[in-house]
Amino acid sequence: MNAQTGELALQAKGITKRFPGVLANDNVDLTLRRGEILALLGENGAGKSTLMNVVYGLYRPDEGEVFVKGRRVRLDNPRDAIALGIGMVHQHFQLVPVMTVAENVILGAEVTRAGGILDQRAAAKSVGELSRQYGLEVDPTATVGELPVGTQQRVEIIKALYRHADVLILDEPTAVLTPQEAQELFRIMRDLAEQGVSIIFITHKLKEVLAVADRIMVMRAGQMVGETTPEQSTEQSLASMMVGREVLLRVEKQPASPGEPVLQVEQLVAFDERHHRVVDGVSFEVRAGEVLGIAGVQGNGQTELVEVVTGLRPAAGGGFQIDGKAFRKPTPRQVTGAGAAHIPENRQRYGMVLPYTVAENMVLNRYYRAPFTRTLVLDHRAIKSHAAALVQEFDVRTPSLDTPGGNLSGGNQQKMVVAREIGRPVRLLIAAQPTRGLDVGSIEFIHRRIVEQRDAGVAVLLVSAELDEIRLLADRIAVMYKGRILATVSAQAATREQLGLLMAGIKDKSESAGESDDADRALAAL
């Protein structure tokens, strides 16, 4: 890391921003130096994204000033920020899926020939050269919608660099990435910093901060409350600074006392959108009062498995039972009606309706039942009363119950979904990436709730890209590799080495000669 500490690239002084009922930023100062990777930490709703939206011209501050390279500037919209060399890659990408990489990059800054005709060849050449210059290799002619998420993120970064950005804001950049893609992003960030690009890195993941940042600033309740460096910090100290109290980074639980099987999966087969067999004869059971964790490098069929058992994808073979009731191609409502709750991997696609209010989103799984519906008419009073109780219990930070769910921060959207799903009696909890996008305090809370569900006799199927999360919460761990369950092991007895070998497709240690690199890569990916 090569931060040039003497030269300021960006300053925010005394930034205050208010919304109805919310003081999002309260007299906030921030500095960013040339070639520096600055990590900006804070709980969900701490004001990080608001501050960055001010710097990017999406919001006008009520008070305060922004300086770029020492010069006071006025930012009325993102065009002003882009003209000053500020680029922002949002958590949810702003790309046109049916366009090529080159078309997305140049959109709004098109390369044209005489007569105003788009010069496709020149655009592709320019984008290709830029991607190679910064180590962001991507095919300029590829259709964006067909690219992996990590490659789409590269396109967003190239878009900013194409517009001559030398200050880059990355808002929760690893929230939707696989662990492998996250590691590649960190390499790219370091390369960019070496070339003089200044980076603000907003995240909740403390390990990432300690691994990649030059300097760390921490926000809490709209204020900047601390500044430190990775060398001076630990995960525990950063967590305490973020939350304002001691945070348990471990899970306290008693040994499980499993009962009868609740979920039984038998020879399940599923295909993806490209008609590839991604779930290949999977069988397992989850018993009442236990957590079964599904581990594996992302892309080995975990997502499709969860989609089948929640009614989001039809099974091509086999089936499953919930409390003895057989299903093969159920609807999500039928699965819910059987006593299952589902925290989906993609909350915006499957877990909520963005324009609906917080109150409405809180009853999506049972709005059609009493007391929320009376004689086919929604009882809005009952809906709001129910939502108010969940918002308080699960600390969902929202200006009001009438706020559209899509207006909440990503972390508070996740807490809203979690509250809805486990804020009612269930027999089976299917949790896919339940803490994705959450801060350490919220993770602590959700982990405790999952353990409470287990202890209350709920069967929990946990799928997570975080190996540490699975090892903390699971009683048994099933490892998926290329669409199959390679092995199921006791979480208490399993070692990282053993899990790494299994995730690399190696069942027996004797098979591992010359293949330890595969295991190491599998572990590093998680």
| Band of pLDDT at residue 522, cut at 50, 70 and 90 | low
* Rounded-to-5 percentages of helix, strand, coil across the chain: 35, 25, 40
Q: Which two tokens stand for residue 122?
A: 């020149």
pLDDT score at 509: 57
Please list, in sequence order, all residues whose beta carbon lies within 8 angstroms of the beta carbon of residue 184, skipping any fewer than 6 positions away.
150
Give the right CATH number for 8-243 from 3.40.50.300, 3.55.40.20, 3.40.50.10490, 3.20.20.140.
3.40.50.300
Write the DSSP symbol of residue 400: -
The better pLDDT of the pair 463, 502 is held by: 463
| Band of pLDDT at residue 513, cut at 50, 70 and 90 | very low
| Band of pLDDT at residue 1, cut at 50, 70 and 90 | very low
Is the pLDDT at 294 greater than 60? The verdict is yes
Is the pLDDT at 247 greater than 70? The verdict is yes
Average pLDDT over residues 223-240: 93
Kindly report, residue by residue over 32-68, the tens digit of the pLDDT. 999 999 999 988 788 998 999 999 999 999 999 999 9
Instruction: Give kind and range of the element (H or E) at residue 384.
Output: helix 380-393
Is the pLDDT at 495 greater than 50? The verdict is yes
Is the pLDDT at 520 greater than 80? The verdict is no
Same topology between domain 8-243 and domain 248-339+426-494:
yes
Nearest to 436, CA basis, from 344, 317, 330: 344
CATH topology (fold) of 248-339+426-494: Rossmann fold (3.40.50)
Q: Which of 54-58, 177-181, 349-353, 435-439 shows the lowest mean pLDDT across its residues?
A: 177-181
The DSSP string of 447-500 is HHHHHHHHHTT-EEEEE-S-HHHHHHH-SEEEEEETTEEEEEEETTT--HHHHH
What share of the chain in percent tops pLDDT 90? 57
Q: Which of 106-120, 291-305, 310-324 shows the lowest mean pLDDT across its residues?
A: 106-120
| Residue 385 CB neighbours (<10 A) | 14
| Band of pLDDT at residue 4, cut at 50, 70 and 90 | very low
Average pLDDT over residues 242-250: 78
pLDDT score at 459: 98
Kindly report, residue by residue over 330-341, the tens digit of the pLDDT. 999 999 999 999
Is the pLDDT at 477 greater than 80? The verdict is yes
pLDDT score at 115: 56
Average pLDDT over residues 117-128: 80
| Band of pLDDT at residue 318, cut at 50, 70 and 90 | very high
The better pLDDT of the pair 319, 298 is held by: 319
The DSSP string of 223-248 is EEEEEE-GGG--HHHHHHHHHSS---
Average pLDDT over residues 85-106: 88
pLDDT score at 113: 57
Average pLDDT over residues 474-484: 94
Which residue matches tokens 């059609």?
368
- Each domain of the chain, given as residue ranges in start order, spans 8-243, 248-339+426-494, 353-424
Is the pLDDT at 93 greater than 90? The verdict is no
User: Reduced to 3 states, what is the DSSP secondary structure of residue 188?
Assistant: helix
Average pLDDT over residues 329-353: 93
Is the pLDDT at 421 greater than 90? The verdict is yes
Q: Mean pLDDT for the chain?
A: 88
The better pLDDT of the pair 325, 45 is held by: 325
Average pLDDT over residues 290-300: 88
The pTM of the full predicted model, rounded to 2 decimals, is 0.71
Please list, in sequence order, all residues whose beta carbon lies within 8 angstroms of the beta carbon of residue 512, skipping any fewer than 6 positions away.
501, 506, 519
Q: Which of 38-42, 277-281, 309-313, 507-511 shows the lowest mean pLDDT across its residues?
A: 507-511
Strand ordering across the sheet containing 71-73: 22-33, 8-19, 63-68, 71-73
3-state SS, 134-164, equals: CCCCCCCCCEHHHCCHHHHHHHHHHHHHHCC
pLDDT score at 203: 85
Q: Which two tokens stand for residue 400?
A: 């009001």
The better pLDDT of the pair 12, 446 is held by: 12
pLDDT score at 218: 95
- 24, 47 Cβ separation under 8 angstroms: yes
